[in-house]
Amino acid sequence: MKIAIGSDHGGFELKEVLKKHFTDMIDLGTYNTESCDYPDIAAKMSKEILSGNVDLGILICGTGIGISIAANRYHGIRAAVLYDDFVAEMAKKHNNANVLVFGGRTMKQEDVIKRIDIFLNSEFEGGRHNKRLEKIEEGC
């Protein structure tokens, strides 16, 4: 499975930690602590996923909020802020998220690593959840 990771300056430190822990992640930037705009990173990630180059994305900003809002504007992106362990499991089982989002200034590094592991070890349940995901794609 190809996993990509991206952050703004608020998530840079956590991105570097995750890259070391989970080797083989494709780094979509940012590449230093200089201030940058999280919608640009969300756009880059969304395009990689929607084109099929990447199977799963990890996005990080200061809180996880701005970058998740930005990513979820792209049809086909299901970005979930994994704010606890139960949510990490449900984000796969029920929502089949394709982008995991974290807050570099709000979450502990060890918690984030644990939640990524929980997500990766869970399976999408399909069934009734498929219909709900289809309704999301229909939009409004």
- Show the DSSP H helices in the chain as ranges: 12-21, 38-50, 65-71, 85-93, 109-120, 128-138
- 36 noted as active-site residue: no
CA 97 remoteness from chain centre: 8
State the nearest-atom distance from the C-beta of 31 to ligand RB5, in Å: 16
State the nearest-atom distance from the C-beta of 108 to ligand RB5, in Å: 16
Which residues, 6 or more positions from 137, have their beta carbon under 8 angstroms from its beta carbon?
A: 75, 76
Scanning the structure block, which residue is given the tokens 């989970």? 22
Give the residues lining the site for ligand RB5 (CB under 6 A).
Answer: 8, 10, 38, 61-63, 65-66
Q: Which of 9, 21, 94, 129 is catalytic?
A: 94
Q: Which of 9, 61, 75, 140 is catalytic?
A: 61
State the nearest-atom distance from the C-beta of 8 to ligand RB5, in Å: 5
Catalytic residues: 61, 94
